[in-house]
Each structure stands twice: as C-alpha cells, then as structure tokens.
Amino acid sequence: MGRVKGERGSREPGLPAPAGARAVRYIDADGLPTDDPAAAVHGEMVEHDADGDVRRRTRFFLSEKEIPWLPVSEVAFLAWVLAVLVLIWAVIGVLLLT
C-alpha cells in the first residue's frame, strides 16, 4: 500500500514506522494504489518523529479542469497573455525612451 522512505522498516500495516521515516501512499486515476509518483493523482505523505508519532501529514491531489468559456487550450491562452504583456512592456519602454 505504501512505502517507507529513509531507514528500512516494516511495510506491514499496523507496525510503527522507524524514527524520522516518511510513509508515502500514491493513488492513480483508477483509485488503485501505485508506487509510481508520475501516475499518482492523489495521495498522502506522513512523517514520523523519533517516538514514532505522526509529526506531519500532507495530502495532495491533482485535477485537470477545462475552463468552459475558453475556446482554446489553457497553454495557448497563457502564451497569448504572455505575448500581450511583453508587447505592452515594449510599448511602454519605447514611449519612455522618446
């Protein structure tokens, strides 16, 4: 289900993690556990202190949502926004030099 980074420890559920270890659990798009971080769409990382107690728990998720009113892809839209901002910057620079 998960793996323990850092020191080698037991991967059996219910057993304490070694001190300073970080347990990582990745879930893919189908809702199945995976060991591949690139395939993960959500999961959690749990860091333990020297006593084996949970020190920090970090959950993450990735989602891709389309913007319904945008007729082009998000990347194309952002490229156009960048081009417009560079053009505005250049026009302001030319006006300040004259």
94: which 2 tokens?
């030319």
What does the domain layout of the chain look like in residue ranges? 3-61, 67-98
- Per-residue model confidence as pLDDT tens digits over 41-89: 888 878 877 777 878 888 877 777 777 888 888 889 999 999 999 999 9
d(CA 22, CA 44): 10
Q: Report how far residue 10's alpha carbon sits from residue 35's, in angstroms, rounded to the nearest whole number.
A: 16
- pLDDT of 12 > 70? The answer is no
Average pLDDT, the chain: 78
| Amino acid identity for residue 76 in this structure | A
Residue 25 pairs in a beta bridge with 44
| Between residues 14 and 92, the one the model is more confident about | 92
The answer, as to whether pTM is greater than 0.75, is: no
